[in-house]
Amino acid sequence: MFGVSINELLIVFLILLLLFGSTKLPALARSLGTSINEFKESVKPEAEKKDSPEQKTEEAAK
């Protein structure tokens, strides 16, 4: 797809592991995932936000 092979991905992963260490890497991935999800939510049109399952569970809790 992007012209990146498994070998190149492994090299990038090993470099990240060396730079940040095995304890920081999961936290970095988690924060990156949270940031991406927040960005997706902010970009969604208002019509889709109204029907989201998160809002339905919040309304049911009230």
The model's pLDDT over 32-62, given as tens digits with 9 standing for 90+, comes to 999 999 999 998 877 666 666 666 666 666 5
pTM exceeds cut of 0.85: no
- pLDDT attached to residue 35: 95
Q: Is residue 55 part of a domain?
A: yes
Phi, psi of 17 (to 5 degrees): -65, -40
Work out the mean pLDDT of the chain and round it to a whole number: 82
- Give the structural domain span for 55: 6-61
Residue with tokens 């990038």: 12
Q: Is residue 57 situated within a structural domain? A: yes
| Residue 13 covered by a domain | yes
Question: pLDDT value at position 61?
Answer: 63
Q: Is residue 43 part of a domain?
A: yes
Tell me how far apart the alpha carbons of residues 9 and 34 are, in angstroms, rounded to a whole number: 22
Count of structural domains, the chain: 1
Of all residues in the chain, the percent with pLDDT exceeding 70 is 73
Checking if the pLDDT of 14 tops 70, the result is: yes
Contact present, 20 and 27 (Cβ < 8 Å): no
The answer to whether residue 51 sits within a structural domain is yes
Q: What's the CA gap between 32 and 20, in Å, rounded?
A: 14
Non-local CB neighbours of 26 within 8 Å, separated by 6+ positions = none
1 lies in some domain: no
**16 in any annotated domain:** yes
